[in-house]
Amino acid sequence: MYISTKAEACLTVENGVLIAESKGETLRIEAWGPDALRVRATVNADFTGKDHALTEPHGAVAEIEVGETKATVRNGRISVELDLQGGWLRFQRDGVEFLREYARNFNGVNPHAKPLFIHAREYKAIMKSDNFQIKLRFDSHKGERIFGMGQYQQPEFDLKGCVLELAQRNSQISVPYQLSSLGYGFFWNNPGYGKVTFGKNLTEWEAVSAKEIDYWITVGDTPRDLVRNFTAVTGRAPAYPESALGLWQCKLRYRTQEEVLSVAREYHRRGIPLDRIIIDFYHWTKDGEWQFDPTYWPDPKAMVDELHAMGTQCLVSVWPTVERGSQYFKEMRARGFLVWTDRGQAQCMNQYYYVDATNKQAMEFVFEKCKEHYLDYGIDGFWLDEAEPEYHCGDFDIYRYHTGPATEVMSEYPLGYTRTFYENMKKLGYTEIANLARSTWAGGQKYGAVIWSGDINSNFETLRVQLCAGLNIGMAGIPWWNTDIGGFLGSDVNDPDFHELLIRWFQFATFCPVLRMHGDRGPHDIPRLSDKGGGKAHTGQPNELWSYGEEVYEILKKYLDIRLSIKDYIASLMQEASENGSPLLRAMFYEFPEDEGCWELDDQYMFGSRYLVAPVLELGARRREVYLPKGRWKNIHTGEAVEGGCRITVDAPLDIIPVFERVKG
């Protein structure tokens, strides 16, 4: 239904959708999920029709009212007013404004306007293209705190005042969903390269190359509401395998079949349950052949059978890389299965090419090889490495994918990568899928991907950063998350300080979604097996629980036992993540939103609703301060009950991480 107004806007209302056309721009507003709205805008002839991460049925219809000066779109508790003269938007929760577009263009109506001619929605044409450089601006709020947005390697937990690159890199995962202390969540539904500035004076979202503005916004009383609403429209994690709740063992790198079996046998001899062991990169003949080098892996099926007999599953590393000499290179290049470049050399990518994970046929080709060379031997799953992918030239504007230039679609890459393996394994009858992956985007949680925080450094500063990263990615809808225990780069197995770091990291990881040993341990003085195939890459020092001496072993074993003692509880948290999206690693305010003190905490967290965890994050620290919200808490190590609503200082000798159990009733 077309509606005529006195303002400079032509309005159409169709099936609960408001479409406003004014001065060459088309704006589309509609209900999308519980207490949520989706807003799109373009200066092209039409919208793309792409839903990107908003994949789940939303079943919502908005109420629309049109007046002389404004139009209102309402869905449950959220509403937005469109100013028909200036074209700017004003969002409300239960009738109270919480966000408005940054309107600094004089229009005679907006009392805050000034004649600066700065528009909230800005489009800068890209020549010879129907794409634009796009900016979207909102007024900033004093005192607002912002969380979520994925995984960034920075110590800032509250993102207010931060500038974030919207791009996938090794150890950086952009999932552009912000959770605000003002009771709203905002998702930038754009998989391309960009930037967001959570400034003191304004918030500005920027896309380097896009055809339209597309965002989704919701309201709720608690952070739990906001995560639940977001995952309702982007998807939730599947059931997590009970067989993967314990210890995952890994290192850079097990070079032979016998090395893997010897490690698993030693765990079995010691009576230590080992859920999974992982075979890292360069077990293959060449990049892009996705198969064991028979020189070092003569009988993979026999290896897997023995592992299974000991109760251990086996994962193998898969890279999306193809070198020129591989047996499939010419075919894959001819069929357009490789990432190409608009200029320069594709070999910029460290002398090999990347499979184009946005090309469904290309990924089906890769999966078929992995099925033949891994799954058919009984391999249980995959470590999907380099999932960003990791370009060694960071000029993202040179790369071109099947679905468009990387600047426009780059975050589709990790989704295509993990989705292919998840969906094909399901078709083959696998019911317990949990594949490691180094990157994801919004909605990636539904593809059975266990995200880890990349190739990070081995020091306490990095451990501190991982806590912020894990908490924020959880609030962006990604519940299955972990780190390389002890960090990946820069360790020395003979250094007592590293031993302390490893212990503190393992204690933290005990109360994380996944407990996984990994790292490239120095000194790097172990000779290579050969100069080709599966023998050419270096290996780090041993990295098993017993590899660091008896004192370290006893402490690590103690915490593995604690982990195993709460497996049923962890399984219940995984089920909760599948049901409502709640992360396992939770900011204090996630469980205690009414406690102002909890919104200021960035060095402790809740593991689910039961355990308050205060990791030791400094070398040499043997005590630390802990904030206990109101209620009764029990120290899990001493059994002492403490009344909350205060800060306390607790002892934290090397074998103790302060953990308090919430006493109900």
Q: Any idea which residues carry the catalytic annotation? A: 385, 388, 455
Burial of 558 (0-12, 13-18, 19+ CB in 10 A): middle
Residue position matching structure tokens 């000499």: 325
* 627 Cβ neighbours under 8 A, 6+ residues apart: 588, 597, 598, 601, 604, 646, 647
Burial of 23 (0-12, 13-18, 19+ CB in 10 A): exposed
Closest to 158 measured CA to CA, from 609, 606, 589? 589
Residue-wise DSSP of 465-487: HHHHHHHHHHHTT---EE--BT-
CA distances from 463 to 372, 396, 503 (A): 39, 29, 12
- The answer to whether 172 and 454 are in contact (CB under 8 A) is yes
Phi, psi of 136 (to 5 degrees): -130, 125
- The answer to whether 584 and 608 are in contact (CB under 8 A) is yes
Integer Cα distance of 262 and 266 in angstroms: 6
Instruction: Count Cβ neighbours within 10 Å for each residue of 244-257 and write b for 16 or more, e otherwise.
Output: bbbbbbbbbbbbbb
- The answer to whether 149 and 164 are in contact (CB under 8 A) is yes
Instruction: Lay out the sheet containing 25-31: strands in order across.
Output: 2-3, 10-14, 17-22, 25-31, 36-42, 213-219, 184-188, 173-180, 146-151
* DSSP, res 219: E
Burial of 116 (0-12, 13-18, 19+ CB in 10 A): exposed
Integer Cα distance of 349 and 377 in angstroms: 31
* DSSP, res 101: B
Closest to 328 measured CA to CA, from 381, 291, 280? 291
Length of the chain measured in residues: 665
Specify the 3-state DSSP secondary structure of 611. strand
Integer Cα distance of 630 and 615 in angstroms: 20
Q: Which pair of tokens denotes residue 402? A: 């099947």
